[in-house]
Structure 1
Amino acid sequence: MPLTFRKSFRILPGVRLNINKKSWSITTGGKNGPRHTRSSTGRRTTSMDLPGPFGWRRTTRSRRTSG
């Protein structure tokens, strides 16, 4: 089993800074309602817990243009 590094810090109520080996991300939102995550790699995720064992997630990746 490989070793992984992941750390999460609460910087404000409802705002978390997540750090792992290759990138970092900011998550806003709480337990009730949607959560929005923006990653340093350009990925955006919106997720929400639904009643019971269900959940919803939508992930998009922004296109970076070289100029």
Structure 2
Amino acid sequence: MPLTFRKSFRILPGVRLNINKRSWSITTGGGKNGPRYTRSSTGRRTTSMDLPGPFGWRRTTKARRH
């Protein structure tokens, strides 16, 4: 089983800095029943939301390289 590194810091209410082995990201939102927006240093943008019950919704887009 490979070892992984992931750490999350709360820097402000509703704002988290997430660090892993290859990149970092900033997550905002995610309060009571609200959406979360994440932007990664690799260009990935994710919008996610918890739905009632065992459901969740996620949309991820990758930045285009020119």
TM-score by length of 1: 0.91
The CA distance in 2 between the partners of 1:27 and 1:2, in whole Å, is: 26
Deviation of residue 19 (structure 1)?
0.1
Q: What residue is the counterpart of 2:26 in the other structure?
A: 26
**What stretches of structure 1 move > 4 A for 4+ residues in a row?**
none
- Paired residues, number: 64
Let me know the Cα RMSD of the aligned residues.
Answer: 0.9
The CA distance in 2 between the partners of 1:3 and 1:58, in whole Å, is: 27
Percentage of matched positions with identical amino acids: 94
Unpaired runs of 5+ in structure 1?
none
Q: 1:39 to 1:31 in 2, by over 3 A?
A: farther
